Structure 1
Amino acid sequence: MTHKKTAGAALLMLALTAGCTKDYLDLQPRDAVPTENFYQTATDALQATNAVYSQLNQSGMFNSALWGIGDVMSDNSSLGGGGADGIEFQQLDVFSIPTTNPVITAHWQRAYLGIGQANQVLTRVPAIQMDEAVKSRYLGEAEFLRALYYFYLVRGYGDVPLVLTPAQSPAEVANITRSPAAEVYAQIVKDLTDAITKLPASYTGDNTGRATKWAATALLAKVYLTQGDMTKAAEQARLVIAGSGKTLWPNYGDNFKIENENGQESIFEVQFKSGLNTYSTDGPGSIVNEFWGARFFGGPTSAYPYVVSGGGYGFNIPEKEFVDGYEAGDLRKTVTVFVPGDKYPIPAGFTVAPEQPASLPGSPFGFNVKKFFIGTVNTNVWDSGLNIPVLRLADVYLMLAEAVGPTTEGLDAINRVRRRAFGLPITTASSKDLTAATPNFKDAVIRERRYELAFEDERWYDLKRTGKLLTSPALIAKGVKPFNIVLPIPQSEINVNPNLVQNQGY
């Protein structure tokens, strides 16, 4: 596996000092326009706002790093692969993470690039003469996105630099220090609270997929949940459930189809677009289909052809304990995991559907993730157009259940999700319902989150915030250590700024 080289900390400096549906992905480079000549027109404001979204589908965010952290560093999956590649993910998998690890470096840099672009919008767009309502919306989008980037940073690294305005020089960035996590969370809450007042409830046409007031409200609920403020988490979750107009798909699998992107259950998702790149981990196409695809399943002359365009990397392999943990009759299993004997679509030139074998390189039990599988993508191998959900209504229901406990309200929330999982009417009581007598209700909610949100980059964060990261038998076996509750600060950043003191243990 290869990676583009980056300019390390210099990239962060550039982000902090310089200045989505498929149709508004910003694909044109803007670094050729001097800052003093930009931020003049409504078009400039739009392009600057689009640029804040553009970091989401990069390798340091949802195209690579976040499934390395959220999945591979959890008990849901292991890296898999062929053993000789993906070393940077192997290091995450076994909790032997050097400060030079490319995944944690890319994650830091991409998040701060997004923050730097948001800061430019929030600082420079207010002076542009344009429609005030549209301007306000752009500022709300930038606040939401800045909060989202900071939310990943503070959960991942702990105390992080809190930068809210464009720095005036590289030297200013090179002397910045880490702010206490409490201050970062306070700013996240402030940004989201303000964004809610500026953002619309929904969009149409080319703007579909942008951040809405409900995306900001749902994210705020998750922020409060992470901080342990259950009262406020419940308040925000209720607002989303009652006011967003979102409803659960009757069929769980409908969440993960290209034709249903930004659909009835979606609150916010990262937009990907195919047909514009081939071997790039930095969007706008998603690498997930190829990297999680069954590894070297076969070939043009094999009885088993490739099931993804380039043969598959076989990364992010579901753990046996995870797969065995599905309850009998849980339909989410067939949507989420390939198991031996599962049929694939019949490829062009073949007459028989290939079957998932009993074992594959890196997958001794023959498991692969199915949830984001779309098969071959023409001749482009790292170029899936399937979006990745960040927030959806089922997540909000489970946040509410966790926040209020086994009350009538909490039980109704979790049972809606469970009924859908078993193919039952969502609003009708069933034999699968949890009750007030269910023991260890909070653990039951976290378990439900595990299977509802599997491979949606959530598990490591759930384990961390509930204190289970260091007690999970699976992670103890992997080698988790007490200091692994945070990631290391990238060494490239410390090299240019010794004020960024390293997290203990690294």
Structure 2
Amino acid sequence: MKKYIYLAASALALFAFTSCNDELTQLPLSQGTIENFYATPGDFVQARNATYSVAFHGAGTYGYANRVLNLSETRSDNLYATTTASREWEGINSFYTNISSNSYIKEAYTSNYNAINKANQLLEKIAEKGDQIFTNPADKTAMAAEARFLRAFCYFDLIRWFGRVPLIERTMTAPEAAKIPRTPVTEVYDFIISDLEQAIPDLPPSYDAANYGRVSKYGAKALLGLVYMTRSSPTYGIDGATLGLNEWDKAYQQLNDIKTSGVYVFGADYDAIFKVEGNANKENVLTIPYTQSLPLSVGGNFMVELGYEPYFASFNLSAQGSLEAKEISTEFLNMFAATDKRKAFGIATSYTVASGTYKGSYTLPVFKKYIDPARYGNGREDWGVDFMVIRYTDVLMMMAECTLHGGGGSQADVDAIVNQVRTRAGVTANAANITLDELFAERRKEFFSEGNRWFDLIRSGKAVEIMNAWKAVEDTDGKIRTIDNNALIYPIPLSEILAVPGLYDQNIGYD
């Protein structure tokens, strides 16, 4: 299980980049080094694994999971994450306008473009040398499909955070990259959809245990469905990812293909979704694997982002660096019924530390959905807990969202999906004539601390209205800024603005 991530660590060293200016001016390896490396099928496998590693695990301290917890969950109405200690995440939560140098924002830009560069290089070498290297043509086409998926994944991530971004379709020198302006979102979407449509036919429906974590045909379909949903959602009059294109039927078709495939199963036990790993977990449609305490393993630390040091100490774990809690909003806590298993499993409301620095009893609620001490390794960056990017329940509930927009299915289908979710959660299955607002409320309880909430708010078309109404009730300290539509995308990192003066304009509303 999780075999490919073992190789990724060594592959990263082989594919390090030197930099000039910043991320978009990354120089590739010298031509001679590239030619010498891509000489065997194993070399191509390492290059593919390195692309996965940067796309999913990031180019530094953070990976995709950390990113969505910081930039989506912390931005949303699920958390009242203010602080007096000037933490990086406070500017995210409070909608500061001077966050263009924020490390979380810069990481989202850096890691995605590093992975795109690796995918571009891999695709070029497959086209150039693949027929000579691969004895089985199917191996070549499958590897190209994975590279296209990863490139599309990264570009979709970029436009959801930043709106217009430069479209880099091939490896470039620094001077070449310095001439590429920000590309209209519509053109980036065309590129994403083209990559996914080319990738899907050449991806397998599933993998064996040794290759768990690689993208399947249905993982790519789930992403394509979400792409169509996002660009179909109401536009806010900004250069963001929602375009109001009304392609809900296209999204529904991709998601329904996953449902009818029979590969995935709606898990009967909510807790098990987050405890069972590998192919045994039929909820996993698109997953980022982590393994702790093994040679060349890639451990994770994303659960630390929403944790709290006393909670970790209650299990006698070593310091995790979560010195201040990102407080769960009272309004969100009050949404749950007393019998809701999702709250019981995913939120710690009381915990005790027997001894040491944090000795005492605590009642500050914190998210704990992904915190499993049994999968803790040798330190805060060595958790062996997998992160689900898209799970089967999400696929079903996204189908329901498409249905409510007229994309396919019936109201009875929507009600049945919501009742299925509620039954598993141990609450009354009384869904009838569910509306979009009610569906998003159910999604909020189902997917909290999984990094979905901010994207759900955006797709609802009511993100500004909801966040400002939430602030009026929750923000008694007056620390969160009242927002307008411009706050729905993040600023382009300042380092990019300064790298080539005049090439990029900053997103409106940011310093």
Counterpart of 1:27 (choices 1, 9, 14) is 9
The 10-residue stretch of structure 1 (473-482 or 147-156) with the greater mean CA deviation from structure 2: 473-482
Match of 1:264 in 2: 282
Q: Which amino acid aligns with 1:46?
A: V
Q: Which amino acid aligns with 2:137?
A: E
Higher helix proportion = 2
Cα distance in 2 for partners of 1:102, 1:276 equals: 29
Alignment of 1:112-151 (within 5 A): 112-126=113-127, 127-128=129-130, 129-130=133-134, 131-151=136-156
Cα distance in 2 for partners of 1:48, 1:378 equals: 27
The answer to whether structure 1 residue 48 and structure 2 residue 47 are counterparts is yes
How many aligned residue pairs are there? Answer: 451
Match of 1:323 in 2: 333
Q: Which amino acid aligns with 1:67?
A: L
Counterpart of 2:487 (choices 480, 484, 494) is 484
The answer to whether structure 1 residue 462 and structure 2 residue 465 are counterparts is no
- Check whether the contact 1:343–1:355 (CA below 8 A) recurs between aligned residues: yes
Cα distance in 2 for partners of 1:189, 1:64 equals: 26
Q: Deviations over 1:409-465 (max 9, x none)?
A: 222233222222227xxxxxxx513113x4xx1011111111111111111111112
- Check whether the contact 1:401–1:410 (CA below 8 A) recurs between aligned residues: yes
Change (3 A) 1:153 1:386: same
Match of 1:474 in 2: 470
Match of 1:310 in 2: 319
Cα distance in 1 for partners of 2:194, 2:312 equals: 52
- Check whether the contact 1:221–1:233 (CA below 8 A) recurs between aligned residues: yes
Match of 1:383 in 2: 382
- Check whether the contact 1:114–1:146 (CA below 8 A) recurs between aligned residues: yes
- Check whether the contact 1:159–1:178 (CA below 8 A) recurs between aligned residues: yes
Counterpart of 2:432 (choices 435, 450, 454) is 435
| Secondary structure of 1:64 counterpart | helix
- Check whether the contact 1:209–1:262 (CA below 8 A) recurs between aligned residues: no
Give the CA deviation at 1:312.
5.1
Cα distance in 1 for partners of 2:325, 2:41 equals: 43
Cα distance in 2 for partners of 1:356, 1:183 equals: 54
Q: Deviations over 1:388-416 (max 9, x none)?
A: 11011000000110111262222223322
Change (3 A) 1:213 1:320: same
Q: Deviations over 1:189-214 (max 9, x none)?
A: 11111111010000003111100000
Give the CA deviation at 1:260.
5.5
Give the CA deviation at 1:316.
3.7
Cα distance in 1 for partners of 2:44, 2:444 equals: 39
Alignment of 1:410-421 (within 5 A): 410-421=414-425
Give the CA deviation at 1:233.
1.2
Task: With the length of structure 2 as denominator, give the TM-score of the two structures.
Answer: 0.82
User: Cα RMSD (Å) of the superposition?
Assistant: 2.6
Structure 2 unmatched ranges of 5 or more: 17-28, 233-246, 405-409
| Secondary structure of 1:389 counterpart | strand
The answer to whether structure 1 residue 188 and structure 2 residue 192 are counterparts is yes
Alignment of 1:435-454 (within 5 A): 435-436=432-433, 438=434, 441-454=435-448
Cα distance in 2 for partners of 1:73, 1:290 equals: 17
Cα distance in 1 for partners of 2:276, 2:432 equals: 36
| Secondary structure of 1:269 counterpart | strand
Match of 2:348 in 1: 338
Change (3 A) 1:235 1:39: same
- Check whether the contact 1:418–1:432 (CA below 8 A) recurs between aligned residues: yes
| Secondary structure of 1:327 counterpart | coil
Cα distance in 2 for partners of 1:37, 1:298 equals: 47
- Check whether the contact 1:309–1:378 (CA below 8 A) recurs between aligned residues: no
Percent identity over paired residues: 29
Give the CA deviation at 1:21.
2.0
Q: Which amino acid aligns with 2:161?
A: G
Cα distance in 1 for partners of 2:14, 2:224 equals: 31
Cα distance in 2 for partners of 1:378, 1:393 equals: 28
